[in-house]
Amino acid sequence: MTTTTPAARTVAGPTTADTHCPYCALQCAMSLAAEPDRTVTVAPRQFPTNRGGLCQKGWTSAAVLGAPDRLTTPLLRGTDGELHPASWDEALDVVARSVVGIQQTHGRDAVAVFGGGGLTNEKAYALGKFARTVLRTANIDYNGRFCMASAAAGANRAFGVDRGLPFPLTDLAGADAVLLLGSNLAETMPPSVQHLTGVRSRGGLVVVDPRRSATAALTGEPHDVPAAGGAGPVGDQGVHVQPVPGTDLVVLLALLHVVVTEGLLDMEFVTARTTGFGDVRRSVAAWWPERAETVCGVPAERLRHVARLLAAASPARGGAGAYVLTGRGVEQSTQGTATVTAAINLALALGLPGRRGSGYGAVTGQGNGQGGREHGQKADQLPGYRSITDPAARAHVAAVWGVAPASIPGPGRPAVELLQSLGVRGAGADTEDGRPRALLVHGSNLVVSAPDAQRVEAKLRALDLLVVCDVVPSETALLADVVLPVTQWAEEEGTMTSLEGRVIRRRQVLAPPGEARSELWVLAELARRLGSTVAFPTEPATVFAELARASAGGVADYSGLSHARLDTDEAAGGPGLFWPVPASDDAAAPHPGTPRLFLDRFGTPDGRARMVAVDHVGPSDDVRADAPVYLVTGRVLQHYQSGAQTRRVPELVRVAAAPFVEMHPLLGARLGIADGERVRLTSSRGHVEAATRWTDRIRPDTVFMPFHWGGAGSVNRVTTDATDPVSGMPEFKVCAVEVRRAERADGTEVVA
């Protein structure tokens, strides 16, 4: 099966390329064929992660290449308040003049940069380098802070390394049990589900989610919430655990309590390969299953059943192996790092990490969410996943960049804090207040994707300068003073790093339409206009070679990689290489990559994993009299992230045209709200409206809403911007709302 999608501009002759899907971190392999009229044909390609499969988004991915409103020329906001076409010289001159003026008045940190987890490794690297060597600002972060921050913080603390999956995804196939917390793979990464076939056949899939999502349904379990006081029915392929929103940490603490008190742990592994177990053991003593049930709502016997199932699958007890996997549903929380830490503690107690066929991992969401955080977009990092406060790291990277180490700024503000700190237009000229007056946005649609989105929109409108690089006029681009049209996936060369740490090639099949340019070119041109003497190459292979040098010796070491090596590997049938891939002194024997981390030691100074005691606090915005219903958010199969791309694909919009509020019939009856009625969800931050969908696949105390839409249907208008104190991750996944019928323009309720 193939799909064809017309695009915009004629090129000479048909072109083909083997590349990867532009959406999620599964990075499904595909082949593209472009005809002279820019018609692009998409076909799946065999690859370990997707095994020849694509989801609906992948099949229709070429449609965005020819979107009717594709940005093809720079735009400047005129005195009439409207955006008008401009030349590149005009647009870049405006940006350069404004940046100079703002920094002269308010200081270097008054210009901030916000990146994206969909940028290639080359563009993510160049963006971090630009911020620190040209702008000399500390204020750079990216939307990966909304995605993997808690998982990264937890993994770095426990293992000394953050690689989402420290093992190939294909390893899951042989396990006897997989505990999946807060991830709806069946809708977010459908081709990945085939890797769960084996564990499902053995009855070992455990899904923790307050909804009976498409992934939870894979357990084969009846979808009614189990009655309190009993284990409830379990499925023939696994178990669905349906906790009160915001209490996933309690589930994990109770599971570890059972493992410890019933003697199910791998004490030999814990003694030989970890530290901190004593503190953890004492902390989980307080979370016996009956107490946990009163908080998380999961029956005590069900918690015991799951703990015993995981233990039986562990190598220490003769099982084929077990995995503990976390996703955004448990990580996007003010206790996200603690929850990840509890998941890691459980995995370590069972002796899973660092063993073939077992482990802990975090499911990366964005296409280059892994690589995007390794090479300098994060507020506290330099290329190679180095700490920006490490003198040796600063010296190494400075030498590659040709600058003095002292000239590299220190750590900046994480994403939510950065957005909260944005200054107000015309609010004085204090150079010491540190409030950014300008923001350069690359690959992120903040007006839809950020928490407390209306506040963020107001902040963006009040800036002295907002510059947005994008491929379509997203909600954020439409607010900008300057919009710069850039290339997208099939129009550029580069590399991406998948959820497993597998570095793969992105290849060009089309010339960019109109005046669209690569961000590598944009950054080089801005650097020249701003008087920088630092080199900014524009050829992706050259940029990658510099990235490789900058990463050498770091945690994420790419120094043994190049575009040429990746091309040669793929031509020989290889599926990409897993970092770290350090350079080899023997050209005839290059480093083969590292598919599985921690087999011999963890990445900590003493080689042991750190177990850290954590405890449950609860969500920052819990239910109360004026907001008695939990709201959880997530994705639907047809759309991706803020929807800026997928909402421009007719085939996807026909299936999922508008946001909705998923509600249990019991809640609907209690509130007097019928199936299909339009409702308003109100939090202390704002309100959002959408039609209801009754379903018994959600808890009766909870409503669900997807986050792919802007405007009145943007659920992030009501989510909280409270953040995890360790990771800076916002608490997207749970807040308290009032639910009532929507109102007419005259203020009266809409009544069915």
Does the pLDDT of residue 746 top 50, yes or no? no
Q: Mean pLDDT across the stretch 574-603?
A: 94
pTM, two decimals, is 0.95
* pLDDT the model gives residue 595: 97
Where do you find CATH 2.20.25.90 in the chain? 3-66
Kindly tell me the burial class for residue 421, based on how many C-beta atoms sit within 10 Å of its own C-beta (0-12, 13-18, 19 or more).
Answer: middle
Asked whether residue 13 carries a pLDDT value surpassing 80, the answer given is no
Q: Which residue has the tokens 């590399």?
A: 495
Angle at 252 between CA 251 and CA 257, to 5 degrees: 100
For the ranges 219-228, 265-274, 519-528, 562-571, the lowest mean pLDDT is seen at 219-228
* Confidence at residue 747, expressed as pLDDT on a 0 to 100 scale: 54
Can you tell me the distance from the alpha carbon of 598 to that of 230, in angstroms, rounded to the nearest whole number? 39
Distance CA 439, CA 454 (A): 17
Where in the chain is CATH 2.40.40.20?
629-741
Q: What architecture is the 3-66 domain classified under in CATH? A: Single Sheet (2.20)
Phi, psi (degrees; rounded to nearest 5) at 28: -55, 140
Closest to 607 (Cα-Cα) out of 158, 143, 167: 158
Please give the structure tokens belonging to residue 187: 């809708």
What pLDDT does 714 receive? 96
Number of CB atoms found within 10 A of residue 355's CB: 21
Please tell us whether the domain made up of 629-741 is placed in CATH 2.40.40.20: yes
Q: By C-alpha distance, which of 366, 470, 446 is closest to 717?
A: 446
Question: CB within 8 A of 540, min separation 6: which ones?
Answer: 120, 122, 492, 493, 494, 495, 518, 520, 563
The runs of H, that is alpha helices, within 60-205 are 88-106, 121-133, 149-159, 185-188, 197-201
- Higher pLDDT among residues 103 and 14, named by residue: 103
Helix (H, G, I), strand (E, B) or coil at 467: strand
Check residue 179 and give its pLDDT: 98
Q: Given a cut of 90, is residue 385 above it in pLDDT?
A: yes
pLDDT at residue 572 in the model: 84
Q: Which helix (H) or strand (E) holds 667?
A: helix 665-671
Averaged pLDDT, 383-394? 97
Integer Rg of the chain from CA: 25
C-alpha–C-alpha distance, residues 518 and 122, integer Å = 11
CATH topology assigned to domain 149-362: Dimethylsulfoxide Reductase; domain 2 (3.40.228)
pLDDT tens for 277-294 read 999 999 999 999 999 999
Q: Which residue has the higher pLDDT, 2 or 178?
A: 178
**CA neighbor of 333 nearest in space, from 685, 726, 737, 640:** 726
User: So what's the pLDDT on residue 727?
Assistant: 94
* Residue 678's pLDDT band (cuts 50, 70, 90): very high
Judge contact between 656 and 623, C-beta under 8 A: no
Question: For 306-364, what is each residue's pLDDT tens digit?
Answer: 999 999 999 999 999 999 999 999 999 999 999 999 999 999 999 999 999 999 999 98
CB 332 within 8 A of CB 730: yes
Pairing mode of beta strands 678-682, 687-694: antiparallel
Residue matched to tokens 């660092």:
354
Alpha carbon distance 437, 411 (integer Å): 18
- pLDDT, tens only, 541-554: 999 999 999 999 99
Is the backbone peptide bond immediately before 580 cis, with ω within 30 degrees of 0? yes
Contact 190, 682 (CB under 8 A): no
- Percent helix, strand, coil in the chain (nearest 5)? 35, 20, 50
Residues 6+ apart with CB under 8 A from 531: none
Q: Which CATH number fits domain 75-147+368-578: 3.40.50.740, 3.40.50.300, 1.10.3720.10, 1.20.120.160?
A: 3.40.50.740
**So what's the pLDDT on residue 228?**
39
Q: How many other CB atoms are found less than 10 A from the CB of residue 272?
A: 10
Beta-carbon contacts of 207 under 8 Å, excluding residues fewer than 6 positions away, are 180, 213, 215, 216, 218, 219, 238, 239, 240, 241
**Intra-chain end-to-end CA distance of the chain, in Å:** 44
pLDDT digits (tens, 9 = 90+) for 605-625: 999 999 999 999 999 999 999
pLDDT digits (tens, 9 = 90+) for 33-92: 999 888 899 999 999 999 999 999 999 999 999 999 999 999 999 999 999 999 999 999
Whole-number pLDDT of residue 557: 98
Reported as a single tens digit per residue, the pLDDT across 495-527 is 999 999 999 999 999 999 999 999 999 999 999
In order of 333, 617, 681, 683, 694, the CA distances from 628 in angstroms are 19, 19, 11, 10, 18
The residue among 701, 721, 728, 688 whose CA lies nearest residue 621 is 721
Task: Provide CATH 3.40.50.740 ranges for the chain.
Answer: 75-147+368-578
